[in-house]
A and B are shown apart, each in its own frame.
Chain A
Amino acid sequence: QKEVEQNSGPLSVPEGAIASLNCTYSDRGSQSFFWYRQYSGKSPELIMSIYSNGDKEDGRFTAQLNKASQYVSLLIRDSQPSDSATYLCAGRSYNTDKLIFGTGTRLQVFP
């Protein structure tokens, strides 16, 4: 069983809408979580990190962490076509201290 699970998508949203990307994890001891954006043919780039339960906002992006439910999400407000990419969720393994990545969710924002 993959330790970090994401729906592969594609998730299609209209321009200006809120895109909601979700991730679940199995390692209850995980403390750190990360969202990366990856454009086709490019390398992952960090969008957000979150360590505590609750919400963390940065511009149009909000990361949410619920450790009791083992659930991480990323909200993108006022979605733009330039947000179309694959979004990778990663959690730091409690046992190994290494990042475990989900397979990513492809987001399509249409005009």
Chain B
Amino acid sequence: DAGITQSPRHKVTETGTPVTLRCHQTENHRYMYWYRQDPGHGLRLIHYSYGVKDTDKGEVSDGYSVSRSKTEDFLLTLESATSSQTSVYFCAISESERASTDTQYFGPGTRLTVL
């Protein structure tokens, strides 16, 4: 298994509260990604990082921010959680975005419920 952990694995919070999800990797891969997975939508990219302090927006970035101060850690923050952000969040890593090394490996996921 790729060395990826996510914390917390489950979280229930209330609307309007801040939430931070953590992704930690031991592979020293350059690229890290945050996805959300919802029924009928599949996996959608929220934000990604291509190096320390280098991040960019994905398809569904509104309401989310990220930070990467170390190669191994990628944090996803919901500044003020809303019920529409109830979802399963997956972190993924890849060595590069060139063919033959662009495979993404996923962490175990975080199930977030916003009441």
Contact = CB atoms under 8 A, between A and B. Distances in A.
Binding between chains A and B: yes
A25 interface: no
A67 B110 CA distance: 35
Q: Find the residue from B43, B105, B107 having the highest chain A CB count within 10 A.
A: B43
Contacts of B103: 34, 46, 49
A32 interface: yes
Interface residues on A, range: 20 to 34
B90 interface: yes
Interface stretch (A12-20, A77-85, A91-99): A91-99
Interface in A54-111: 88, 90, 92, 97-99, 101-104
Contacts of A92: 97, 102
A31 B45 contact: no
A99 B42 contact: no
Contacts, number: 44
Q: Find the residue from B104, B108, B109 having the highest chain A CB count within 10 A.
A: B104
B99 A44 contact: no
Contacts of B44: 101
21 contacts: A32-B99, A32-B102, A34-B104, A43-B90, A43-B107, A43-B108, A46-B104, A49-B103, A51-B99, A88-B43, A98-B45, A98-B48, A98-B58, A99-B43, A99-B45, A99-B104, A101-B43, A102-B42, A103-B41, A103-B42, A104-B42
Interface of A: 31-32, 34, 36, 42-46, 49, 51, 88, 90, 92, 97-99, 101-104
In the A-B complex, the 4 residue pairs with the smallest Cβ-Cβ separation, listed nearest first, are: A103-B42, A101-B43, A43-B106, A101-B42
Interface of B: 40-45, 48, 58-59, 90, 97, 99-100, 102-109
